[in-house]
């Protein structure tokens, strides 16, 4: 499996597919404010690529979870720069994986900016996934 292959899904589809999942729970899992989820639901805004990729990772967990009890969705975070070290990938590959620009990665490295909570959550899930793939 290629770790540079990325799937995306609208977080709204998670709410539609899993009736037990509330907007507040989804917002917490994605690291966004509940009003963001509300705006996506009514169509006034669209989620960014980072959120769509994080939603895909959450979907993979939810699809594997045995019923009748819903899983507790982890909200752990990881500094995305750890992915550069752990997997020896380029800034451009990391930027593509996280749905951000390579310039943003450069700003994180220089300390000019810090990655957002949603990016850190996606980094956590990508790390888990890539560790499983690469052994």
Question: Can you spell out the DSSP letters for 22-84?
Answer: -HHHHHHHHTS-HHHHHHHHHTSS---HHHHHHHHHHHHHHHHSPSSSPPPPP-----THHHH
pLDDT in tens, 96-118: 889 899 999 999 999 999 999 88
CATH value at residue 124: 1.10.260
**pLDDT surpassing 70 at residue 71:** no
Residue 48 inside a domain? The answer is yes
Clarify whether residues 54 and 25 are in a common domain. Answer: yes
Q: Considering the domain boundaries, does residue 47 fall inside one? A: yes
Dump pLDDT digits (tens) for 32-67: 899 999 999 888 999 988 888 888 888 887 877 776
CB 70 within 8 Å of CB 21: yes
| 58 and 85, same domain (yes or no) | no
Give 24 or 16, the one with higher predicted confidence. Answer: 24
* Nearest C-alpha neighbor of 82 from the set 49, 131, 134, 118: 131
| 3-class SS of residue 101 | coil
Say yes or no: 87 and 52 in one domain: no
pLDDT band at 28 (very low <50, low <70, confident <90, very high): confident
- The number of domains in the chain is 2
User: What is the extent of the structural domain holding 43?
Assistant: 11-64
Give the pLDDT confidence score for residue 68 in this predicted structure: 62
């Amino acid at each position: 499996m290629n770790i540079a292959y990325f799937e995306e899904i609208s977080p709204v589809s998670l709410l539609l597919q899993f009736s037990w999942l509330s907007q507040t729970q989804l917002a917490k899992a994605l690291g966004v404010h509940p009003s963001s989820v509300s705006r996506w639901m009514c169509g006034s805004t669209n989620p960014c690529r980072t959120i769509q990729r994080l939603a895909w990772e959450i979907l993979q967990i939810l699809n594997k979870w045995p019923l009748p009890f819903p899983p507790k969705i982890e909200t752990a975070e990881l500094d995305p720069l750890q992915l550069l070290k752990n997997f020896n990938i380029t800034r451009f590959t990391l930027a593509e994986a996280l749905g951000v620009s390579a310039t943003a990665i450069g700003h994180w490295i220089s300390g000019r900016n810090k990655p957002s909570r949603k990016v850190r959550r996606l980094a956590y899930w990508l790390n888990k996934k890539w560790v499983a793939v690469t052994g």
